[in-house]
């Protein structure tokens, strides 16, 4: 018989607060058109994007995360010293070690929390949320700060007509803590590594190092049509599986918050899932662009801030991207 004592966590976990940070610089499509042969009409029709935010040198991954985290903590009514773990999902923090989560934890005032980074692309927020739920229920942390943050402008090839208009910068954060009732459903997540080349960094860092000064800096590239088909058809199935796992139907939903990759993908998923008219759909991509791991918490924060969604609403969230990876779950909004 095991001598290990059972965990003393909460029976359930929930999102208690959310915060977001968007860089001050707003970049319209006209700026993108300075380096690619396209048009505002083409960009809007293909992606639904009109503007995006790009970070200044001072708006680092850590700085944006600290701002978003402070708002999330205030929204949750949780003091920084109560945070037991900090999880940061990002692909655009260029320092290999230490994890940027440790810097963020220190700057927000957390006291010796567990702190680590994860790399799960546009599904990263869902991965972090799932890990946080496990910590709270298991008892290793009472409150967990989950952050999705990107400076994708650093990894954008402004001469690539297929991707130059897609990416934006920003940070979104949530505080996950104990709950007396289920408020974060089972996660349906996974990966399809056979499709890893459809979204990737153009040149690995080890190949870039030592190249001539004129070598183009690594950027994110993708096979647009392949990604579109996969997202629309396969991710709609995953979204349905998340609804089934939570024991609800589309009729029970109040809000749908998909990864803000592309307006056409969002609209196609809504149609495939046959979401009722009453369901509020996040379409933050129009003014924020694709912010990868930050897109879901940023969209969640905006829906709540504008009153388009309210506390207690039932929301389906799904992230999907490079890997190819995905994560979907049903949550109660803070």
Q: Which residues are catalytic?
A: 122, 259, 290
Spatial separation of the C-alpha atoms in residues 118 and 50, rounded to whole Å: 30
85 in Cβ contact with 146 (< 8 Å):
no
**Residue 130 main-chain phi, psi, to 5 deg:** -65, -40
For residue 40, how far is the Cα from the chain centroid? 26
| Helix, coil or strand: residue 230 | helix
Spatial separation of the C-alpha atoms in residues 125 and 119, rounded to whole Å: 10
Spatial separation of the C-alpha atoms in residues 119 and 261, rounded to whole Å: 17
Nearest to 254 by CA among 243, 241, 269: 243
Strands 143-151 and 83-89: parallel
At CB < 8 A and 24+ separation, what contacts does 223-231 make?
223/197, 223/198, 223/199, 224/162, 226/195, 226/198, 227/198, 227/199, 227/261, 228/262, 228/264, 228/265, 230/192, 230/195, 230/198, 230/320, 230/324, 231/261, 231/262, 231/265, 231/269, 231/320
């Amino acid at each position: 018989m095991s001598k290990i004592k059972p965990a003393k966590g909460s029976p359930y976990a929930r999102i208690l607060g959310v915060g977001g940070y968007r860089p001050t610089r707003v970049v319209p499509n006209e700026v993108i058109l300075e380096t690619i042969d396209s048009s505002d009409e083409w960009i809007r029709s293909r992606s639904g994007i009109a503007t995006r935010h790009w970070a200044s040198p001072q708006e680092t991954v850590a700085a944006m995360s600290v701002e978003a985290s402070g708002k999330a903590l205030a929204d949750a009514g949780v003091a920084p010293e109560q945070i037991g773990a900090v999880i940061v999902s990002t692909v655009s923090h260029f320092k290999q070690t230490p994890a940027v989560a440790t810097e963020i934890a220190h700057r927000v005032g957390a006291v010796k929390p567990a702190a680590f980074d994860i790399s799960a692309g546009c599904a990263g927020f869902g991965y972090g949320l799932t890990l946080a739920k496990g910590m709270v229920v298991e008892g290793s942390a009472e409150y967990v700060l989950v952050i999705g943050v990107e400076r994708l402008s650093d990894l954008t090839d402004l001469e690539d007509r297929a991707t130059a208009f897609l990416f934006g910068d920003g940070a979104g954060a949530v505080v996950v803590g104990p709950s007396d009732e289920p408020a974060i459903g089972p996660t349906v997540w996974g990966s399809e590594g056979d499709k890893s080349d459809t979204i990737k960094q153009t040149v690995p860092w080890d190949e870039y190092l030592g190249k001539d000064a004129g070598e183009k800096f690594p950027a994110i590239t993708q096979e647009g049509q392949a990604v579109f088909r996969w997202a629309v058809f396969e991710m709609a199935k995953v979204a349905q599986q998340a609804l089934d796992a939570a024991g609800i139907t589309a009729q029970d939903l109040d809000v749908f918050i998909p990864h803000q990759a592309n307006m056409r993908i969002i609209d196609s998923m809504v149609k495939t899932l046959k979401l009722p008219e009453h369901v509020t759909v996040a379409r933050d991509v129009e003014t924020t662009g694709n912010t990868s791991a930050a897109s879901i918490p940023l969209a969640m924060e905006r829906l709540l801030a504008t009153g388009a969604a309210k506390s207690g609403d039932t929301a389906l969230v799904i992230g999907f991207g490079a890997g190819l990876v995905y994560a979907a779950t049903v949550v109660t909004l803070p």
